[in-house]
Amino acid sequence: MSFRTTDSVRPQRDCRPTSLRPAARSARGSGLGGSVLSMPDVLVLVDIQRDYFPGGRMPLVGPDAAAECAATLLAHFRAQGLPVIHVRHESLEPDAGFLVPGTPGAELDPRVVPLAGEAVVVKRHPNSFLQTDLQAEIERHPDASLMVAGMMTNMCVDATVRAASDLGYDVTVVADACAAPDLEFAGTHVAGHAVHAAFICALGDAYADVVMTADVVPRSGEPADPFDVRQLSGRATGADPPSA
């Protein structure tokens, strides 16, 4: 198991995706990354299920774009021979409105369907570790760090990332491979993109490194090897990201 060392009081962090921070741009330009495959060891895809898409019972904002990014990550991990864990939610409550077992909306999106041999974890709580064998699956890969993407940013992704961090794992969240819904509280409407941004910002503050898909998977014309996500976050240099 890989552990993160933290101070009792953490400095204020830049909540922008790591790829947009000055330190990240400097790391990419300096040649610190890109020569060695040095990325999180296990990809965890959380609840990319059809109820979250248009026509489903709980459509999110931008789920198709997020699923495309998740599919890109999935293909990249498979190509590198790195392990993938698929998490699928089942709502068993009598009044469950979505992700009900046996319904089309509970099915994983076709873009991220597991291949034979890839682990599938079924959960019934927002925290993917709670009453599941997710940790046992991860521990099959000693000293693993995690890359997490999926749905919803504000619920199961958030709960899973926080739990993983509390268990001692180094976690990277791929922001553009996650999606959130519009929310409303006490008459205040919060747009899905704002919900997503707020939760990603909070996770990046204390629980995980935040990157974009392009930080992990090289685009056309860029070096064949992926960038070192941990160097982009400042871990390799020991530098703290600048304040927002």
Between residues 25 and 103, which one has the greater pLDDT?
103
Q: Is 165 left (phi over 0), alpha (psi -120 to 50) or beta?
A: alpha
Is there a domain that residue 241 lies in? no
Is there a domain that residue 178 lies in? yes
pLDDT at site 222 = 56
d(C-alpha 168, C-alpha 128), whole Å: 15
Is there a domain that residue 126 lies in? yes
Mean pLDDT of 148-160: 98
Q: Which residues does 193 contact at the CB level (< 8 Å), separation at least 6?
A: 61, 62, 180
Query: Which domain does 33 fall in, by range?
Result: 18-232
Q: Which two tokens stand for residue 100?
A: 């009900």
Average pLDDT over the chain reads 81
pLDDT at site 105 = 97
Is there a domain that residue 201 lies in? yes
CATH of the domain at 136: 3.40.50.850
pLDDT at site 228 = 39
Residue pLDDT, tens place only, 35-92: 333 467 999 999 999 999 999 999 999 999 999 999 999 999 999 999 999 999 999 9
Residue pLDDT, tens place only, 187-196: 999 999 999 9
Classify 109 as helix, strand or coil. coil
Q: Residue 169 pLDDT > 90, yes or no? A: yes
Is there a domain that residue 240 lies in? no
Is there a domain that residue 139 lies in? yes
Is there a domain that residue 6 lies in? no
Q: Residue 24 pLDDT > 80, yes or no? A: no
Average the pLDDT over each of 26-30, 159-163, 185-189 and give the range with the smallest value: 26-30
Classify 85 as helix, strand or coil. strand
What is the count of structural domains for the chain?
Answer: 1
% of the chain surpassing 90 pLDDT = 71
Q: Residue 18 pLDDT > 50, yes or no? A: no
pLDDT at site 70 = 98
Is there a domain that residue 243 lies in? no
Q: Residue 234 pLDDT > 80, yes or no? A: no
Q: Which two tokens stand for residue 19?
A: 């790829």
Q: Which two tokens stand for residue 139?
A: 């521990």
